[in-house]
Chains A and B, each alone.
Chain A
Amino acid sequence: MAFEPREPQKELKYEELRIYSDEELNNYTDEELKKFKIKHKVPMCDDLEKGPWPSFVADAKREALHRKKLGQDRLMIEQDVVEDLLGQLEVSFEHGETHWKHGGIVGVFGYGGGVIGRYSDLQDKFPSIAHFHTMRVNQPASKFYSTNYLRSICDLWEFRGSGMMNMHGSTGDIIFLGTFTEQLEPIFFELGHVLQQDLGGSGSNLRTPSCCIGKARCEWSCIDTQDLCYELTHYYQDELHRPQFPYKFKFKFDGCPNCCVASIARADMSFIGTWKDNIQIDQKGVKAYIGGEILPNGGAHAGKDWGKFDIQKEVIDLCPTECMWMENGKLMIDDKECNRCMHCINVMPQALWPGKETGVSILLGAKAPILEGAQMSLLTIPFITAEPPYDNIKEKVIEPVWDWWMEEGKNRERLGELIQRQGVQKLLEVLSIPAMPQVVKEPRSNPYIFWKEEDVPGGFKRTIDDYRTRHAR
C-alpha cells in the first residue's frame, strides 16, 4: 500500500511563493566570481578551496557574492553574514579555538525547543554574526523532496537568514544556519502558515525521528519505515516541541538489520525491521550467481578483481550461524538457526529476499559516551508487528518506557543509563514482558543475584534468637 499522509499536503508552487526572480537567483557571472574577494583576509580558508572534493569555502564565497549583488534592501539580516562567518572561522583556525559564546536560549512562542541560540564572542569585529542562531526544520521521512519545496524554503531562508544550511543534521533535520533573534518568529510563521512545515526537536525532549529509505527504494525493507516515522512524529508532537523528559530521547527506524540510519547506535529507541518465516530463495537466481551471470553484492566490489564468485567461500562459509549448505546444486537454509544478519541476502540480492512475515525488533538505550560510557541499543522486544496505526507499539512499548523513565530518570540521565542503573529486569517489568534468552548475549558470570522476597521460602524476616537455638556463639 502506498504511503498516505495523515492530512492533505499543501501543494507548494514555487512560482506563487517565490521571493526572488530568476535574474536575482543567477545574479553573478563566473568572471565576477573569479575576481570576488570577501572583505576579510582568509588565507587558511582559501587553502580549503584546493583539491577535488566540493569545497564548503568555495560554496560560501558564492553565497557571499550572491548576497552582495542582491543588496541589503532584498535581505532581512546583514548581507555580509557569510563573509563575517568565514572571517571568524579564519580567526578560529589561527587561534585553534572556537569563537562562539557559551550556550544561548532563544526560541519561538509555544515551543521549548527547535532553535539553537548562538552568539559570536568577536561581535565588534564580525557584527553580522553577533547572533547566529540555528533553526531545526523537521525533514520529510527519508528526505525525498520536490524542487518546488526546496526552492521555497531556500528563498525564505535567503530572505530572513544567512542562506547557509546543513543538509542535514545528524539527527535528520534540515538545518538553517545563522539568523538573528528578531527573525525567528517571522520564519516560524512562514514555515507553518505558508509552507506547512514544522520545526524539529531540541532540548530534553523527543528529537526529530528519522528513518532509512525503506520500502520507497529498497527490496529488503521489512516495515514501512517512512509511515512509522511519520506517524510517530505526528502522534508525539507535544513530546517533540515541549521538553518534559529527564533528557533527550531519539527514535530511528531501520527497515532491516543493515541499519542504514544507524538506529542501533544513535537512537534511545531503535526500530529494526525483521522477519519470522523463511528467507525466500530463487534457485534460478542462485545458479545465475554461481555461473557468473550476475555480479555478487550488486557489483559493489567490481573495482577490484576478487576472482570468480565462490558461493561456498563468500556466502556459506561466512554465515555466522553456519546454517547454509548446497545440496544437488540447490542452496539450502536451515531457517530456524538463521539470525537474519542479512549477509547472504546482501551478496545475492537477485536470489534471496527477507521472509514475508515481517515486523520489527525494538532495541533500547543507545547513547554517546557522556556520562557513563557509550552504548548501543539492547535487544528488548525481539519481534512485534508494525501495522498502522501502530497502537501496539505506542501503548505497549513507547509509553510504558516513557512513564518509567520520566518518573525514575535523574536529571540528564539517558534511558540507556537508567537501564544500567536499575537493571534490565526492571525494564522487562515495566514492559510487562517475560525475561527471554534473546535479551542477553551471555548470562551473568558473577553470582550477585537478587531475589524477590516472595520467591524465597520463609521470606527475609528472620530472628537471630531462633538461629542461636541451633548455633551457639
Chain B
Amino acid sequence: MPTVDFEGNTFNVDEDGFIDDFNNWNESWVRHVKQTEGIEELTDEHHKIIEVLQDYYKKNGIAPMVRILSKVTGFKLKYIYELFPSGPGKGACKMAGLPKPTGCV
C-alpha cells in the first residue's frame, strides 16, 4: 500500500488516493487531498459538506446518496461540483476520509 507524507503525517492510501481507514483521517488530510482534486481555496462550504458526510458515515456506516447530501447541505448538485470538481464521490468522500465508492461506476 503506498503512503503519503504530508505536514508531518503519514497516510496509507490506495491507488485512487483514498485513505485506508476513516480513523486515520485528520484535518491535514483535507489539505493534502485539496492539491489533487482541483480545489483552489477551501471554504466553509467545503467543510460543511465534509462534516455532513462524516456525520452520516459515523451514524450509518455508508456514504449518503447524492440526493440526501444535497438535501441536508442545501447545495444543488451543480454547486457541489463547483466546490468539488471530481464530484461528491471521488472528490468530497475522498476528502472526508470515507471508503471508496463501489458498485457499477
What A residues does B86 contact at CB under 8 A?
Answer: 107, 109, 112
Q: What bracket does the count of chain B residues touching chain A fall in?
A: 20 to 34
Query: In the bound complex, do residue A105 and residue B16 qualify as a contact, i.e. CB atoms below 8 Å apart?
Result: yes
Q: Give B83 Cβ to nearest chain A Cβ, in Å.
A: 12
Query: In the bound complex, do residue A110 and residue B85 qualify as a contact, i.e. CB atoms below 8 Å apart?
Result: yes
Query: In the bound complex, do residue A109 and residue B38 qualify as a contact, i.e. CB atoms below 8 Å apart?
Result: yes
Q: Give A318 Cβ to nearest chain B Cβ, in Å.
A: 40
Query: In the bound complex, do residue B87 and residue A112 qualify as a contact, i.e. CB atoms below 8 Å apart?
Result: yes
- Binding site secondary structure of chain A: loop
Query: In the bound complex, do residue B85 and residue A109 qualify as a contact, i.e. CB atoms below 8 Å apart?
Result: yes
The yes or no answer to A406 lying at the interface (CB within 8 A) is: yes
Q: Which of A404-418 contact B (CB under 8 A)?
A: 406-407, 411-412
What B residues does A110 contact at CB under 8 A?
Answer: 81, 85
- Assuming the contacts A103-B100, A111-B87, asked whether A406 and B67 have C-beta atoms less than 8 A apart, the reply is yes
The yes or no answer to A214 lying at the interface (CB within 8 A) is: no
The yes or no answer to A226 lying at the interface (CB within 8 A) is: no
Task: Select one of A106, A203, A246, A411 contacting B16, CB under 8 A.
Answer: A106
Query: In the bound complex, do residue B90 and residue A112 qualify as a contact, i.e. CB atoms below 8 Å apart?
Result: yes
Nearest B residue to A412, CB-CB: B103
The yes or no answer to A358 lying at the interface (CB within 8 A) is: no
Query: In the bound complex, do residue B65 and residue A107 qualify as a contact, i.e. CB atoms below 8 Å apart?
Result: no
- Binding site secondary structure of chain B: loop
What A residues does B88 contact at CB under 8 A?
Answer: 112
What A residues does B94 contact at CB under 8 A?
Answer: 105
Q: Give B81 Cβ to nearest chain A Cβ, in Å.
A: 6
Complex Cα distance, B38 from A411, in Å, reads 28
Query: In the bound complex, do residue A244 and residue B90 qualify as a contact, i.e. CB atoms below 8 Å apart?
Result: no
Complex Cα distance, B71 from A407, in Å, reads 11
What A residues does B70 contact at CB under 8 A?
Answer: 244
Complex Cα distance, B87 from A112, in Å, reads 5
Query: In the bound complex, do residue B103 and residue A105 qualify as a contact, i.e. CB atoms below 8 Å apart?
Result: no
Query: In the bound complex, do residue A105 and residue B89 qualify as a contact, i.e. CB atoms below 8 Å apart?
Result: yes
Query: In the bound complex, do residue B65 and residue A105 qualify as a contact, i.e. CB atoms below 8 Å apart?
Result: no
The yes or no answer to A243 lying at the interface (CB within 8 A) is: yes
- Assuming the contacts A107-B86, A112-B90, asked whether A102 and B16 have C-beta atoms less than 8 A apart, the reply is no
Q: Give B3 Cβ to nearest chain A Cβ, in Å.
A: 16
What B residues does A20 contact at CB under 8 A?
Answer: none
Query: In the bound complex, do residue A106 and residue B90 qualify as a contact, i.e. CB atoms below 8 Å apart?
Result: yes
Can you list 13 residue pairs at the A/B interface with Cβ under 8 Å?
Answer: A104-B16, A104-B105, A107-B86, A202-B104, A203-B89, A204-B104, A242-B87, A243-B66, A248-B104, A406-B67, A407-B67, A411-B62, A411-B65
Interface residues of A (CB under 8 A from B): 101-107, 109-113, 116-117, 119, 131, 202-204, 238, 242-244, 246-248, 406-407, 411-412
Q: A104-B15, A238-B78, A242-B77 are in contact. List 15 more A-B contacts (CB 8 A).
A: A103-B100, A104-B105, A105-B16, A105-B18, A105-B90, A105-B94, A109-B38, A112-B86, A131-B15, A203-B89, A203-B104, A204-B66, A243-B87, A411-B62, A412-B103
* Those 5 A-B pairs whose CB atoms lie nearest each other, nearest first: A112-B87, A109-B85, A105-B16, A203-B105, A109-B38
